[in-house]
């Protein structure tokens, strides 16, 4: 995040979010306008529970991947009304156990991935096409720790590594391969990398909430890989040949008790009420890290811009994203409202969700002012 807290300024066109200076760099601030579509507060099958992904169809229909049955919910953007549902619990075609993500992985084809490596494909009208079992032996056969795909037909996944041999008590670094696939065939192997910094115990392990993990994203002809160790992201072509990295500057990444206390307080304050007691206990027992991440999520827009979510700092309003063009130039900065999660970026719109005052997800589609 920026070293100075951002300032929110009201405007007739929505909320103009003025980002502060990021060390020597001062990217233009982009505005998030008032929502042109919103989904919230529906009874019955339209209730939103735990979001796994959100996207838009060409006609503007809002598709929500939920982790509660029915797993796919379709909403009319004009009034937010529920217009259809898809996906029941099970292990058959079009059935789900735990929805992992929603993405466009081939031209006009929406892929919805389930926890057991099944991927359900739908056409642009949300008619079911087929269900495919991913073959991911190149990363160890699991679903992958981080994943992304692109309408060009390429996928990327980071492996868990040999889970059984890596789990230890306390803090440890899990590693695994990063591989680019096309039609389930490996086309580029990007080496063994950090999967995540984890905390092991008697019942298994989980990621350190302030730890690093390798993040990946796919563009039209580029692959982005980085673990947040520095303000830098590696760039490759689709065959794994290195290109010039994306680099920028930011605040110090030192891990210190005061920073952790403030991050813990912010995390607890923004979490759903039912999760707050557990979060307080978890933060109180955290082992110390070498550093905090520089960033913790990557996303490529339909305009082929790389969006990088900065590691959340105390005082931030909400998610803070830096935007880079294809040349790696820093072209914009966007701050979302508090308790927001960005799902998709179209050239002139962003799709995001917030948790309202009673912890119910609200989906918004807003214009993006550049």
pLDDT given for residue 340 in this prediction:
92
CA distance 118 to 96: 9
Query: Which structural domain range is residue 87 located in?
Result: 36-133
Query: Locate tokens 């720790």: which residue?
Result: 145
Closest of 228, 298, 312 to residue 270, by C-alpha:
312
Q: Count Cβ atoms within 10 A of the Cβ of residue 181 and give its class: 0-12 exposed, 13-18 middle, 19 or more buried.
A: buried
Answer for the pair 39, 62: CB distance below 8 angstroms, yes or no: yes
Q: How many domains does the chain have?
A: 1
DSSP label of 97: S
Task: Say which CATH number the domain at 103 has.
Answer: 2.40.10.480
- Look up the pTM and report it: 0.88
In a domain, 174, yes or no: no
Mean per-residue pLDDT of the chain:
86
Residue 44 located in a structural domain: yes
| C-alpha dist (Å) from residue 363 to 37, 121, 320, 323, 342 | 8, 23, 18, 22, 10
Report which of 33, 27, 35 is spatially closest to residue 6, judged by C-alpha positions: 27
Q: Domain for residue 3, yes or no? A: no
pLDDT band at 11 (very low <50, low <70, confident <90, very high): very low
pLDDT in tens, 324-336: 999 999 999 999 9
How would residue 211 be classed by pLDDT, with cut points 50, 70 and 90?
very high
134 vs 169 pLDDT, higher one = 134
262: three-class secondary structure by DSSP = helix
Residue pLDDT, tens place only, 264-274: 887 788 778 88
Residue 153 lies in a domain: no
> Is residue 28 in a domain?
no
Residues in the chain, overall count: 370
Tens of pLDDT, residues 84-126: 999 999 999 999 999 999 999 999 999 999 988 899 999 999 9
Strand duo 349-355 + 154-158: pairing: unpaired
């Amino acid at each position: 995040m920026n070293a100075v807290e951002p300032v929110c300024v009201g405007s007739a066109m929505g909320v103009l979010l003025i980002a502060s200076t990021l060390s020597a760099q001062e990217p233009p601030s982009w505005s998030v306008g008032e929502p042109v579509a919103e989904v919230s507060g529906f009874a019955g099958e339209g209730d939103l529970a735990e979001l796994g992904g959100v996207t838009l169809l060409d006609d503007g229909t809002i598709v929500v991947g939920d982790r509660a049955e029915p797993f796919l919910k379709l909403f009319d953007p004009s009034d937010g009304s529920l217009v259809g549902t898809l996906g029941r619990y099970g292990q058959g075609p079009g059935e789900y156990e735990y929805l992992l993500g929603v993405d466009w992985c081939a031209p006009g084809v929406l892929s919805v991935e389930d926890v057991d490596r099944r991927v359900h494909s739908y056409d642009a009208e949300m008619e079911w096409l087929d269900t495919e079992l991913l073959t991911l032996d190149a990363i160890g056969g699991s679903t992958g720790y981080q994943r992304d795909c692109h309408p060009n037909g390429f996928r990327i996944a980071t492996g868990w590594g040999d889970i059984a041999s890596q789990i230890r008590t306390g803090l440890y670094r899990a590693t695994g391969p990063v591989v680019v696939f096309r039609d389930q065939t490996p086309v580029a192997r990007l080496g063994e990398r950090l999967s995540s910094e984890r905390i092991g115990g008697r019942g298994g392990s989980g990621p350190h909430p302030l730890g690093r993990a390798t993040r990946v994203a796919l563009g039209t002809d580029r692959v982005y890989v980085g673990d947040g160790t520095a303000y830098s992201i590696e760039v490759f072509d689709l065959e794994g040949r290195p290109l010039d990295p994306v680099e920028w500057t930011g605040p110090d990444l030192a891990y210190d008790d005061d920073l952790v206390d403030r991050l813990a307080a912010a995390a607890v304050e923004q979490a759903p009420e039912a999760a707050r007691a557990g979060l307080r206990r978890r933060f109180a027992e955290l082992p110390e890290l070498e550093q905090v991440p520089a960033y913790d999520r990557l996303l490529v827009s339909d305009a082929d811009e790389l969006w990088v979510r900065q590691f959340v700092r105390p005082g931030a309003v909400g998610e803070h994203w830096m935007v880079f063009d294809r040349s790696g130039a820093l072209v914009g900065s966007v701050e979302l409202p508090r308790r927001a999660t960005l799902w998709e970026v179209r050239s002139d719109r962003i799709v995001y969700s917030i948790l309202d005052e009673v912890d119910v997800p609200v989906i918004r589609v807003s214009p993006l002012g550049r």
